[in-house]
Amino acid sequence: MSDPTTIVVIDDELGLAEALGAILSDDGYAVGVATNGQLGLRLIEELDPDLVLLDFMMPIMGGPAVLRALEEQGRAKSTPVILMSAATEADVRSVVGNDVFFLREPFDMPLLERAIRTVLARASATSSRHASAAEEKKQGTGRRDRE
């Protein structure tokens, strides 16, 4: 039996974070909840999650700072993030760019569940491609060798 998919929820609105955690847990995910970016980074280090749900605007350490920290730690490519905010997508993207999945608050659970499935599927496809390329390189059977 495989381990459940792990999701870390980082949101300073404790009620929302706990509600998301409970719903995702009921859906079969292993969930960790943090109420600010600093605690969230510690939880990411501890749990090595498959996905992070990250609030954009938080005191202590907001979403953009968490994204920068993940980049500095070399986790940005291997840890997919869904960034959540009541701010407009244009405002958020002007700060963080286009490399992160964005979900506008308020959202309903079916939309969040679709976003989670989409982001996890993309991450799985990307990691499979990287694993295949690494194996080909290791065996010396890259594309050029086959042509």
Residue range 38-50, pLDDT digits in tens: 999 999 999 999 9
Q: Considering only 32-36, 83-87, 136-140, which range has the smallest mean pLDDT?
A: 136-140
Q: Are 82 and 101 in contact (CB under 8 A)?
A: yes
User: Tokens for 109?
Assistant: 């659970």
Rounded distance, CA 112 to CA 116, Å? 6
pTM of the model: 0.84
- Domain range for residue 25? 6-146
Q: Considering only 32-36, 122-126, 130-134, which range has the smallest mean pLDDT?
A: 130-134
Residue 73 lies in a domain: yes
Q: Residue 122 maps to which CATH number?
A: 3.40.50.2300
Residue 1 lies in a domain: no
Residue 77 lies in a domain: yes
Question: Domain tally for the chain?
Answer: 1
Residue range 75-96, pLDDT digits in tens: 888 899 999 999 999 999 999 9
Please compute the mean of the pLDDT values over residues 22-45 and round it to a whole number: 96
